[in-house]
Chains A and B, each alone.
Chain A
Amino acid sequence: MMSVAAARALRDGAVCFVGIGLPSTAANLARHTHAPNLVLIYESGTLGSKPGVLPLSIGDGVLAETADAVVSVPEVFNYWLQPGRIDVGFLGAAQIDRFANINTTVIGDYRRPKVRLPGAGGAPEIAASCREVMVVVRQNPRTFVARVDFITSLGFGSGPGDRERLGLTGAGPRTVITDLGILQPDPQTCELTLTHIHPGIDLDTVRANTGWDLAVSPDLAVTAPPTPEELAVLRRLEATKGGRR
């Protein structure tokens, strides 16, 4: 459901900076269903990749072979991401908080971490410079925390006005898609608010898996269930992960 909901949120023709894992699965699902003209950019420097199989890494050969252009890593960040040429940045998270700040660096204290995570990669600048950001993440109390242990990528900081004060041009996270529902920032408070709940999930479950007092939209909708076509394409793609054909 999470991959399907994330894929649906990508409009056809958008230029999308894709991280590996769930974002890559969702972006490729979108490209194989309603958004055949979606432009996929991977941080390894492949612009316009059209993989027929799901890559395991951001640098699998299939991404370069099917790209419109392959550029260097300094170029992908400096010429393509930094000036704001990318519509949607697509990120995962180890922790996310009520203002959609993302942590992929450490759990616990930076100097004495309980868990050392991979770190930033391209995410801080993706979160800053894309016109908008979409986050795909499984929802549970360990992941959805009131305050992240470390801000690797900025969402809305500590609330309204923070992004503007810092001079960021991108709108920040507009959509957070989880296995339970969809959250969007409240236009006034910037606080993540549940706007959609996936079929078969009840509100108490969502609340119990959120580490803060979750705001719920008065217009809470139920996500349309996956269509047979979406499921078929998703299963076919998943079976190819890492290049298996």
Chain B
Amino acid sequence: MDIFGIPHQAFLGQLLLGLVNGAFYAMLSLGLAVIFGLLGIVNFAHGALYMLGAFTAWILFDQFGLNYWYALVLAPLIVGAAGVVIERLFLKHLYKLDPLYGLLLTFGLALILEGVFRELYGVSGQNYNVPEQLSGATNLGFMVLPNYRAWVVLVSLVVCLGTWYLIERTRLGAYLRAGTENAQLVQTFGVNVPMMVMLTYGAGAGLAGLAGVLAAPIIQVSPLMGSNLIIVVFAVVVIGGMGSILGSVVTGLGLGLIEGMTRVFYPEASSIVVFVIMVLVLMVRPSGLFGKEN
């Protein structure tokens, strides 16, 4: 049976692959959405933090012999800590200024991180292996899906749902949302807002780091891996609505699917389809699909 001119197995296969990628985009844009939605910072360093996560995983293995499972826990923590440092040293001075300064500062930080890693490790990239327990593939009938990819989807969905729940449904999340809307008022209630802000940035960074660890076995761990992805991730967040976590998750998944379809029918356009969508969405809904009008 043919769907749109290609055999239905191939079609389903592409759809599934699109979903896998979508889950990955969702996870990556999650950290960005958290940081922007709650702190108003356009974190251009997100790609570099993602790269940092992947490199941390590789270094943990190469230098310390700690395997993937350790990296899965340690790398996000390490990158999160780096995020906290960045927030304390640099970002906290910029909150009262035009948000564009935050964008420029994080852009500069991204350049620094990338340059340093390029200097230390070259650009060819390092190989990071899929962990034993997740290697191999499953024959689903219409296609063969590597087990590791299924794992990535699982982790992404769990993390995305977890984060959304934390922010929208728990007390902590409520404090966070309130704190970013009116810091002074919340502080009078005894909540330590600067601490929360710092930890939020750290958490966002940690999410980027986690995405990096998940990506490491799939693509080469290279200093350039972040800059290739960052603009697409930004587009996802903007389409979803910059304040909305649900928005970026849904958009990430949606984009994965749309890109997957584009790759089958018109592959040359698959890299710009996200930008076309972004322009179209912003013309119709200025704050993005799920965004809140300022």
- Real complex partners, A and B? no
B residues at A contact (CB < 8 Å): none
A residues at B contact (CB < 8 Å): none
